[in-house]
Amino acid sequence: MGEPSGPHSARRLVENELIMESLNRRLEERVEEVRAEDDEDLEAPIAFFCECSDLGCRERLSMRPDRYDAIHREADLFIVLPGHEVAAVETVVETHADYAVVSKNAIP
């Protein structure tokens, strides 16, 4: 992805990531509720939404809930699919085979 393109400001791109993180939090809560009711493994991977800046991205990545929670203990960290990083608004802090962890740059 690299740099933001089109009419979207850096602030709007970051806002999209916050929206996707919020959606993932609700998804995680609901999956955990269902798993608890059905006596399923609470730590089995969940298909979280990519939290990238792309306003139209609805791709998913699989991750254990405890790993997701550990990453999001830092308010400026997000999970994205490889190649979905946008250097104008974030810095890659971890790279894994199926996802990257990015840190938001300061946005005025």
Confidence (pLDDT) at 95:
96
| 3 found inside a domain | no
| 4 found inside a domain | no
pLDDT band at 48 (very low <50, low <70, confident <90, very high): very high
Name every residue whose Cβ is closer than 8 Å to that of residue 86 and which is 6 or more positions away in sequence. Answer: 1, 2, 3, 4, 13, 52, 53
| 81 found inside a domain | yes
- Structural tokens at position 84: 């979905």
| 2 found inside a domain | no
Boundaries of domain holding 62:
10-104
Per-residue pLDDT tens over the stretch 67-83 = 999 999 998 999 999 99
| 5 found inside a domain | no
| 89 found inside a domain | yes
- Kindly state the helix (H) or strand (E) to which residue 93 belongs, with its residue range: strand 90-95
Query: Total domain count for the chain?
Result: 1
| 98 found inside a domain | yes
Q: Is the model's pTM score more than 0.85? A: no
Confidence (pLDDT) at 70:
95
| 100 found inside a domain | yes
- Kindly state the helix (H) or strand (E) to which residue 101 belongs, with its residue range: strand 100-104
